Amino acid sequence: MNTTRTTRLLLLNLVALAILVAIAPNTQGADPFVAGGRSTRAVAVSRGQSDRALVRAAEVSKALGLPGATRNVARLDDRFEHRTYDEVTSFDGRGREVAITRLDLDGRVVMALVLGWQRGHGPAVNSAAAERLAAKHVAAAGLAVSGKPTIHASAGAGGWSVTWTRVVDGIAVPGDGVRVTLWSDGSFHGLARQERPLAAIPTSPISDADARSAAEAFIARRFAGYGSDALRLDSAELAWLASNDTWDAGRPDAPEGTLRLGWIVRFEATGALAERLRLVQVWVNAADRSILGGDVAE
Amino acid sequence: MSRARSWRRSIPPLLAAVLLMSLAGTAVRAAYPASVDVNKTAFNPPCDGDLNAIVPKMQQAAVAAYNRLGHVTTAFTGAGFTRANTLKRTITDWGYYVHSHGDYYWHAADARRYTGFREDSGDCSQAVIYSKDIKAKRAGRQSNLVFISTCHASDAVTTMPGAFAIAKTKEIVGTQGPEFYTGYIGVQWDTDEWIFEQRFWNALANNKSVGAAFDTAMLGNFAHAGFDADWWGTYHWSGRAGPWTVCSTCS
């Protein structure tokens, strides 16, 4: 083999390797999220798509008062949250990140966030004012909310956390809705919107009593070593739920992307068990009494 | 000399360079150990009647995250995560993550409360590791990233940050040094904690500062509207292991 041929082969291999590296982010986008890995990976975005995201981010920034002199955009495939969005990062005059705006591919706000920490420039507002101001910020972001939000003072959020949980035909969708964080003076800190797809409603959903019975049977089997009153049934509530791996390690590491109708049956631990485990939820599929997943508070 | 021969001649020095670079990286990383303590036994058989898949996931995610930050990270659970082992290791740890049952526990001998968490120990009788125990061992030594993934770890009264010599103040710039403490307020559910932690680790992996990562994590789709966490330390810090590192683009 002569040197020219060797060089050509080497170059061909390098080109093949470069192609593999270039397409890797896109081909792996369909892979499920695995714990320990990143949730997001960058995917290709065209010049036109990038420009549209930057224009929309500028509009959102103006409406919410987000800082930033310059912006850049990355399209991210989020395998943990099962969605793709444009993340626009804003920079100040010294090139430091000062805000993040995430936009759905149709331009709707997924998240807006002012970076940095401030104690607020004005006097602290009360809960009622926080609710009013949060609603104003939601409207400014071009989003709509209804109903009474859950409000709590939050040191980590900078002042207040205001959450409107999504409700569909009278049934709550925990985790979906709009969450706004405010500085203590009521000024804007952050906002997030989540609206996951819902599966079809079962034709004949199981009753509250059926769900309690299925959950109690599950608990009795799983916690057989404890007395019958170690976990006391507290409540049962119909909700749209993302199936998870709380009770089944074989399921994916990220919650399911499409929500299913189910009953949240809640138990409270008592006695010695409560020293390790405070509360337990068993999620019962409203279609067939199967276990969709659950939750624990340790 | 042919070009092919020239290529072959360049291979040994290239290999040597790669070897040296990887050894140098190991030497730097070895200086900043981190421990990831995860209490699996309390939430799995025989203590609970069932396997809890969320806890191992949290361990995997934390180990990967601390490694990405430049620590040499070791995970402990079962009989490896005992009060004695944790207190022995904390002397040299720069980073620390724990997921367990936590509270503001009464300490009978001192007749007062301290923030603490339970060891795993591989059985169902799990001793409390109080913040005062860690504080005594660390004796004011600097920490990097400390993530106490337990209930009550970041309540206003928490005594845990002080155990890692992290003042309960929020700094934008670097006056507080390359350190960050975070944890949950009140009682929180595992699925919300998992969402918070994955968002936090992912933002750090994407070169956000620890403060920006916290803020991003706080906007997760938590099932419980009352979800809350708090932090203390330096917002701008990159999260990288060891003394100050510069993050030119961090907010």
Task: Supply the pLDDT for residue A30.
Answer: 58
Query: pTM for the whole thing?
Result: 0.88
- B211/A115 touch (CB, cutoff 8 Å), yes or no: yes
User: Quick one: which of B188, B142, B175 has its CA closest to B161?
Assistant: B142
Show which of residues 218-237 on chain B sit within 8 Å of chain A, judged by CB atoms: 218-226, 228-231, 235
Helical axes A127-140 vs A47-64, angle rounded to 10°: 150
Model confidence band, residue A278 (pLDDT cutoffs 50, 70, 90): confident
Chain B hits for A190, Cβ within 8 Å: 215, 218-219
CB atoms within 10 A of CB A220: 13
Q: Is the per-residue pLDDT at B5 higher than 70?
A: no
Domains of chain B: 30-234 (3.40.50.1460)
Is residue A242 a contact partner of residue A257, using CB atoms and an 8 Å limit? Answer: yes
Mean pLDDT of chain B: 87
Is residue A265 a contact partner of residue A211, using CB atoms and an 8 Å limit? Answer: yes
CA A101 to chain B, closest CA, distance in angstroms equals 11
d(CA B234, CA A94): 19
- A117/B235 touch (CB, cutoff 8 Å), yes or no: yes
Provide the 8-state DSSP code for A259: B
Q: What is the pLDDT of residues B120-163, one digit of tens each?
A: 988 888 999 999 999 999 999 999 999 999 999 999 999 999 99
Q: Is the per-residue pLDDT at A262 higher than 80?
A: yes
d(CA A245, CA B53): 6
Is residue B185 a contact partner of residue B154, using CB atoms and an 8 Å limit? Answer: yes
Residues A89-109: what's their mean pLDDT?
Answer: 96
Q: What is the pLDDT of residues A19-50, one digit of tens each?
A: 444 444 443 345 789 999 999 999 999 999 99
- B53/A251 touch (CB, cutoff 8 Å), yes or no: yes
Show me where the domains of chain A are located: 40-194, 208-297
Q: For residues B247 and A170, which has the higher predicted lDDT (pLDDT)?
A: A170
- B187/A278 touch (CB, cutoff 8 Å), yes or no: yes
Chain A hits for B190, Cβ within 8 Å: 246, 295-298
Mean pLDDT of chain A: 89
Task: Supply the pLDDT for residue A229.
Answer: 75
